[in-house]
Amino acid sequence: MPSPAWEDLDVFLQEDDFATKATINLQGGQSRAVVGIFDDPSITAHLGGYHRDDNNVMLTVKETDTVGVRKRDTVTVHHHTGAKSYDVMKTPEADGTGMSIIVMLAIP
C-alpha cells in the first residue's frame, strides 16, 4: 500500500528527533539505506520508558523501503554508539499509514 498522498512520511523520520539510520541487507546481496524509528524494549525499560507486552526489537520505516524484505534478511542499525546487526524475523508488517514494522532479533 503506498503512502497517503496527503502525508509526508519523512516528517516523522527526522534524525534530530526519533529516527536513526539503518541499512537493510537482502539475501541476494543488495542493500538499501533507510531512516526509521528503532525500538528496543530492553533499552526503553532500562531508561524508564514505556512498557509493552512483547520484547521484540523493531524498526519502523516507510512501507516503500520494505519492498522485497523477508525473513532471514539482515538490518544494521547505526546507533550513536555504533552499529549493530539484526536478523529479520518475519516479513515486514504494513500498519495502514504508509509505514511498516520490521521485527528483528539481535545477531550475537
Does residue 2 lie within any of the structural domains? Answer: no
pLDDT score recorded for residue 54? 59
Does residue 27 lie within any of the structural domains? Answer: yes
User: How many domains are there within the chain?
Assistant: 1
Q: Is the pLDDT of residue 9 over 90?
A: no
Does residue 3 lie within any of the structural domains? Answer: no
Distance (Å, rounded) from C-alpha 55 to C-alpha 92?
A: 17
- What is the residue range of 80's domain? 9-106
Does residue 89 lie within any of the structural domains? Answer: yes
Does residue 1 lie within any of the structural domains? Answer: no
Does residue 17 lie within any of the structural domains? Answer: yes
Residues 70-100 have pLDDT tens digits of: 999 999 999 878 899 999 999 999 988 899 9
Does residue 41 lie within any of the structural domains? Answer: yes
- Are 60 and 77 a contacting pair, CB within 8 Å? no
Domain containing residue 47: CATH number: 2.40.10
Cβ of 63: how many Cβ atoms within 10 Å? 20
